[in-house]
Amino acid sequence: MDDEYAKLIRRMNPPRVVIDNDACQDATVIQVDSVNKHGILLDVVQVLTDLNLIITKAYISSDGVWFMDVFNVIDHNGNKIRDKEVIDYIQRKLENNPGFAPSLRGTVGVMPSEEHTSIELTGTDRPGLLSEVCAVLADLHCNVVNAEIWTHNTRAAAVVHVTDDCSGCAIEDPSRLSTISDLLCNVLRGDCDPKTARTTLSPPGVTNRDRRLHQIMFADRDYERVERAGKGGIRDKSSFPNVTVLDCIEKDYTVVTMRAKDRPKLLFDIVCTLTDMQYVVFHGVVHTDRTEAYQEFYIRHVDGFPISSEAERERLVQCLEAAIERRASEGMELELCTEDRVGLLSDITRIFRENSLCIKRAEISTEGGKAKDTFYVTDVTGNPVDPKIIDSIRRQIGQTVLKVKHDTSLSVSPKAHRTTIGFLFGSFFKARSYQNSKPVRSYS
């Protein structure tokens, strides 16, 4: 009965979206008002990030039964959103999909499609792993149409969409799917995987790959640090990312604050993790300043209670740090643009492996017969790649086909703010609420 009543309330109070290009000098302001439900913040943020929009500021409030968010957004060029089609799409997507989609709660969300077969992989990371996976898929006559690969803390996870290389359609034969799964699992397992390698073949369909990757790595417990940095395993507090969890006793909240190097989809990664860990954001603020991002959230568990144990606080810190680090750009960024063909990805990753490059993260896409792939690479020890090796690879693949987009080893780290950051909601919650607050150390 309660669920039906909630649905009635949502139908009577559909979301209202206001998109304003005049309210702010350097960003488009998007305000969303809606009946509240668990996961709605993630749904809104996902719509914006799926369009590759950058959220520079956000103000979140969802106490009671009503949800109100205000986002300042820009495109990837740093401009306001002027494209009417994009504005109409945001308006339509948010207003016509209240609730937008039920929370996945750790399961795979699949929408019917005949375009491809989705493969989810997880195992221990090692040099050449992606090359081995791609070689197996090529031998099994599978064409990779798009994929995303993350590595973090010795673990690797991937969501790969494949088709039959002859028909161009999704693979549906159960016997063939079983063979693909078994052979890929053998590759992932390697010689000595302390954890179980897993291969999941989803029915033909699409899902949000970013969220699935977070869920896969979380289930794989990649947040459990293999090595501790610094004396006694405690990270230097000035390092990034910096996550703290405190008590707000008077208002019965747990306060999560985060400082990190700013990058696209950072807010999505944080909100995704909080949502899938079954926390509810009641209030929040997001602010970016040049290269640094600051986020602050007032949360409770879905049962309505704040965090009550030290162990849970420490686990949340570790999980949020992992969520930030999984997508962080590491190493040299290489961009491949060329005509797509069967076996292309297998050939490219083989060349990387033969030249002792280690792929830390990759985004694979094909559209209109063109392949556009991005790789973040280091040497096998995790150090910057020798430019001479890259020059040799580019001559082999093609100077115009493979380009160096960015090299993080040449970047100067942003100077961390040494001043104490006060709570941005200080005017809303009295300072004395934190007199008994105890920060949790940030572990790495």
Residue 338 DSSP SS3 = strand
Burial of 387 (0-12, 13-18, 19+ CB in 10 A): exposed
- Global pTM? 0.83
Bridge partners for 20 per DSSP: 29
Same domain, 140 and 167: yes
Q: Which residues of the chain have pLDDT under 50?
A: 1, 98-113, 204-206, 228-238, 412-422, 427-444
Residue 434 lies in a domain: no
- Same domain flag for 171 and 195: yes
Q: Is residue 393 part of a domain?
A: no
Q: In terms of domains, do 117 and 70 share one?
A: no
Kindly state whether residues 191 and 125 are assigned to the same domain.
yes
Q: What pLDDT, on the 0 to 100 scale, is given for residue 329?
A: 77
Strands 205-206 and 279-289: unpaired
- What burial letters (b/e) apply to 35-56, b meaning 16+ CB within 10 Å? bbbbbbbbbbbbbbbebebbbb
Total of domains in the chain: 2
185 falls within a domain? yes
Q: Is 308 inside a domain boundary?
A: no
Query: Residue 285 half-sphere exposure, CB side, CA atoms within 13 Å?
Result: 10
Residue located via tokens 């300072």: 431
Assess whether 83 and 143 both reside in one domain. Answer: no
Instruction: Indicate which CATH number applies to the domain containing 7.
Output: 3.30.70.260
Q: Is residue 351 in a domain? A: yes
28 and 129 co-located in one domain: no
- How far apart CA 426 and CA 60 sit, in angstroms, is 15
- Indicate whether 342 and 208 sit together in one domain: yes
The whole-angstrom separation of Cα 389 and Cα 385 is: 7
The pLDDT score that the predictor gives to residue 410 is 54
Is 120 among the domain residues? yes
Considering the domain architecture, whether residues 336 and 200 belong to the same structural domain is answered as: yes
Q: How far is 320 from 261, CA to CA, in rounded Å?
A: 14
Residue 360 lies in a domain: yes
Residues 213 and 336 in one domain: yes
Are residues 74 and 159 part of one domain? no
**What pLDDT does residue 293 have?**
95
DSSP calls for 50-72: HTT-EEEEEEEE--TTEEEEEEE
Is residue 157 assigned to a domain? yes
* pLDDT attached to residue 354: 96
Domain coverage including residue 76: 2-96
- Whether the link from the prior residue into 127 is cis, omega within 30° of 0, is no
Identify whether residues 115 and 216 lie together within a single domain: yes
pLDDT in tens, 331-364: 899 999 999 999 999 999 999 999 999 999 999 9
* Pair 85, 162 in one domain: no
Cβ neighbours of 278 (radius 10 Å): 13
Tokens of 287: 């602010």
End of a domain among 73, 96, 119?
Answer: 96
The pLDDT of residue 11 is: 55
